Structure formats: structure tokens, C-alpha cells
């Protein structure tokens, strides 16, 4: 998720989700963590104060996440779903494929790595399946090398 100056591909929904997380972290979470630190300070000697150490650690992680989100949003390349070409697989496209070996259909949405969520069938354009499907067209059969072995998909449909 770290971006070393490269563009971060996001859908409008992805931008909205990151902005909401950033707002929560800056407004609500910062206040909560500051209160935890204040309470922990009241417990006395900071050199042996586990609550204080835990609160400071949480604060550090939160500030890193805030900086990470701000950097992603600065480097965002927003892909508009209305620009999706349904003739070829690209980012923001929904791709329905047939797993040739198991004769099962699956539908994936190709997204940038920041928004990938396999549990919601949102796969990264940088994943083995995403890379293999990008640029392909309806009807093509694609052999994909994955960590679990080679799988073969036939592209049945491309939609927005």
C-alpha cells in the first residue's frame, strides 16, 4: 500500500472511503488516543507505565496511517467508471469468467491495489489474475500462473 511517489489507481468509491477514514482518524481517533495518553500519564512513573507505552504506540501507528492515506490521495489517479471500455478488460471493469477446470463462473472487478478485497471479488490490477486479464477481450481463454498453480479462465463478459 505504500506508494513511493507512483500513482495510486482509485475508483471514486475508493477515494470516498479513504477520505472518510482520514476524517475519522484526524477528528475522532486522535482525540481518543490523546485522552488515553492523558489518563495513562496520571498513573505515575512513565518508565514503567504499560498503558502509556501502549497509547503512544497506538498514536504512532495512527499518525503513520494518516500520512499514508494523505500520500495516496495526493498521488491518486481516479478512474471513472463511465470511461470503462467494455470491449477490453481494464481497471474498474467487471469481468465474468468461466473457470474451465471446475466449470464455475466468477465475476471480478479489477481495481487498483489499494482497493483490492478478494472477499468482495475486487482484485488488484497487480495480482496474477488481474495482470493476466488486463487487456484481454470477451471470448479469450487465458492461462494464469498463480501461487496455487495454473488456472484457465474463459472471459464471458466485460461490463461497467
1 lies in a domain? no
Same-domain check for residues 90 and 134: yes
pTM for the model: 0.73
Same-domain check for residues 65 and 106: no
Same-domain check for residues 95 and 149: yes
Residue 1: band (very low, low, confident or very high) from pLDDT cuts 50, 70, 90:
very low
3 lies in a domain? no
- Per the listing, cell 504512532 goes with 60
Residue 3: band (very low, low, confident or very high) from pLDDT cuts 50, 70, 90:
very low
* Domain containing residue 35: CATH number: 1.10.287.180
Into how many domains does the chain fold? 2
- The whole domain housing 20 covers 8-78
Rounded Cα distance, 79 and 160, in Å? 12
Query: Residue 4's pLDDT is what?
Result: 56
Same-domain check for residues 91 and 154: yes
Query: Residue 2's pLDDT is what?
Result: 41
* Domain containing residue 143: CATH number: 3.10.50.30
Q: Which of 43, 78, 113 is the last residue of a domain?
A: 78
Same-domain check for residues 92 and 127: yes
State the burial class of residue 7 (Cβ atoms within 10 Å of its Cβ: 0-12, 13-18, 19+).
Answer: exposed
2 lies in a domain? no
Query: Residue 84's pLDDT is what?
Result: 80
pLDDT tens profile 101-110: 999 999 999 9
Residue 122 contacts residue 111 (beta carbons within 8 Å): yes
pLDDT tens profile 124-139: 999 999 999 999 999 9
35 lies in a domain? yes
Same-domain check for residues 70 and 91: no
- Per the listing, cell 484526524 goes with 26
* pLDDT average, residue stretch 91-120: 93
Rounded Cα distance, 20 and 22, in Å? 5
Q: Long-range pairs for 146-151 at CB < 8 Å and ≥24 separation?
A: 151/99, 151/101
Name the nearest CA neighbour of 133 among 117, 157, 113.
157
Q: Which of 21, 53, 78 is the last residue of a domain?
A: 78
Same-domain check for residues 44 and 99: no
pLDDT exceeds 80 at position 5? no
pLDDT tens profile 25-80: 999 999 999 999 999 888 877 778 888 999 999 999 999 999 999 999 999 989 87
Q: Which neighbouring-strand residues pair with 155? A: 97
Amino acid at each position: 500500500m505504500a506508494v513511493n511517489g507512483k500513482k495510486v489507481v482509485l475508483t471514486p468509491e475508493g477515494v470516498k472511503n479513504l477520505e472518510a477514514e482520514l476524517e475519522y482518524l484526524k477528528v475522532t481517533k486522535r482525540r481518543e488516543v490523546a485522552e488515553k495518553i492523558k489518563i495513562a500519564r496520571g498513573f505515575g512513573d512513565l518508565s514503567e507505565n504499560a498503558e502509556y507505552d501502549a497509547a503512544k504506540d497506538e498514536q504512532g501507528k495512527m499518525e503513520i496511517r494518516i500520512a499514508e492515506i494523505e500520500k495516496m490521495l495526493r498521488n491518486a489517479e481516479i478512474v471513472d467508471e463511465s470511461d470503462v471500455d467494455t470491449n477490453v478488460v481494464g481497471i474498474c471493469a467487471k469481468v465474468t469468467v468461466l473457470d474451465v477446470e471446475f466449470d464455475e463462473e466468477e465475476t471480478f472487478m479489477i481495481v487498483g491495489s489499494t482497493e483490492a478485497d478478494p472477499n468482495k471479488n475486487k482484485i488488484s490490477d497487480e495480482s496474477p489474475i488481474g495482470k493476466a486479464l488486463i487487456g484481454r477481450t470477451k471470448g479469450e481463454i487465458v492461462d494464469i500462473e498463480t501461487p496455487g498453480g495454473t488456472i484457465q479462465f474463459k472471459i464471458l463478459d466485460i461490463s461497467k
